[in-house]
Amino acid sequence: MQESSLRDQLVNTKENIYFGFVVLFSILTYIFFAFSIVGLIIIGILILLSVVLHGLMMGGIRRNGVKISEKQFPELYEKALKTARDMELKSMPDIYVIESQGVLNAFATRFFRKNMVVLYSGIFELIERNADKEVLFVLAHEFAHIKRKHVIISFLLLPAMWIPFLGNAYLRACEYTCDRYAAFYIQSFDAAKDALTMFAIGKELYPKVNQEAYMEQLQTEHGFFVWLNEKLSTHPHLPKRIYALSRFFSEESTTELKEPKGKVWLGIIGAGVAVVILSAGAFVGIKVIEKMDFWTELASGIEGATPLMNAASENDIETIQSLLADGVNVDEKDSEGSTALQWAVYNSSIDAAKMLLEHGADPNAIDTYEASPLINAVYNDDVEMAKLLLENGADPSYKDSEGNTAYDYAVDYGSEDLINLLKQ
């Protein structure tokens, strides 16, 4: 393949396809946010937070990192400068090297209209082993992100990044593009493969790796979770990146490899079935729990709850009316001496309380804690319930085991509305 033809094909086809989807989704999201005050505030907060956090990080890197220049590692700088010019970058990005404690990584960024590339020291140390080309590949890869404006548009595309499969698919396509750019402009396909292999096994052992056997792991190491791991990642798996470069630069001499999809489809189908079963099980479980009124009894911790009490707690007027019509005792009590009216008070079920009082419920029924419905209404800070009880004969002068009236508790809780109500 001729050089001019290669240059025209450096951009991965999927990058442009996914770019269209993520731009459309992101623009629609921003338009949606822009139509509300809350949305504008959220956008403003995200922008401010992003700028501040990014500024703090880059401030530390700019001061503590070693900046590569004509005076600092000039030989590598000259090579990087030539690569940037060949790529037709408008200006040479600032290059910083930071201590990484063995971690191998690099990234491109932009801050206040200045492009920057940060290289971890674990990679930069390769220049001491005459592996300048591998280091240059990593730098050129980051230059490519700048060339393709991936850094500039990252904020525009932020909403789409919330969708794992869509946002990550676009980012993976960008990685393929940048690998091609880097290998093409450093003019060393071998250095590109070595650099990617280094990310897999480290800078000590990568020269000893059989890259053909490593690429064959695309066929031997497969399955649903392998597939899902990549789909949720911003970077393609490393043997896949090496294979993609091999097919692009040396298709004739690269054995075609195909990832088996059988287990992937079985996994997808199995996961779908599991989701359906779990969802159905959860739905049935919730319905059963609701039917048994399990949550009401569990939350209250009270034994002996009757259908009338459960209906009162849920403000279920129809059930209350039906039970009372069947002759259920309106003042029946549970194991803690609470009546259905007390249950209505506990749960602020005002309609249920009205009906129970209309059918003769005792407004002064005392539970085993010697609390009256009126005192419990004060506990709940429920003015409407307290007023209803007073209108139906609740005794505001009743004292519990502590010698306190409902008015005393209202004073303790500082509830002005209840204090004024109980003063009358």
Q: Radius of gyration over alpha carbons of the chain, in Å? A: 35
Task: State residue 153's pLDDT score.
Answer: 78
pLDDT 10s digits, 73-124: 999 999 999 999 999 998 899 999 999 887 899 999 887 778 999 999 999 9
What the block records as the tokens of 373 is 């419905």
Other beta carbons within 10 angstroms of residue 356's beta carbon come to 29
Q: What angle do CA 138, 255, 209 make, to 5 degrees?
A: 45
Quote the CA–CA distance of 336 and 218 in Å, as a whole number.
67
Element spanning 43, H or E: helix 37-64
Name residues whose C-beta falls within 8 Å of residue 255's C-beta, 6 or more positions apart in sequence: 212
Quote the CA–CA distance of 421 and 419 in Å, as a whole number.
5
CA-wise closest residue to 392 among 354, 345, 424: 354
Task: State residue 313's pLDDT score.
Answer: 87
Which residue's structure tokens are 């592996």? 131
Class of domain 305-423: mainly alpha
Residue ranges per structural domain of the chain: 3-204, 305-423
CA-wise closest residue to 246 among 256, 236, 233: 256
Please give the torsion angle defined by the CA atoms of residues 325, 328, 333 and 338, in that order, rounded to the nearest 10 degrees: -10
User: What is this structure's pTM?
Assistant: 0.62
Burial of 379 per CB tally in 10 Å (0-12, 13-18, 19+): middle
Query: Could you read off the pLDDT tens digit of each residue along the chain, which spans 424 residues?
Result: 556 566 778 999 899 998 888 888 888 887 887 777 777 787 778 778 877 887 888 888 888 999 999 999 999 999 999 999 999 998 899 999 999 887 899 999 887 778 999 999 999 999 888 899 999 999 999 999 999 988 877 767 777 777 778 889 999 999 999 999 999 999 999 999 999 999 999 989 999 999 999 999 998 888 888 889 999 898 999 999 999 999 998 888 888 888 887 656 676 676 677 777 777 777 666 655 444 444 344 444 445 678 988 888 899 989 988 888 988 899 998 888 889 899 988 899 999 889 989 999 999 999 888 889 988 888 888 989 988 988 899 898 898 888 888 888 888 888 888 888 887 6
Which residue's structure tokens are 């946002």? 167
What the block records as the tokens of 210 is 């059989």
What the block records as the tokens of 74 is 């000039």
Task: State residue 217's pLDDT score.
Answer: 93
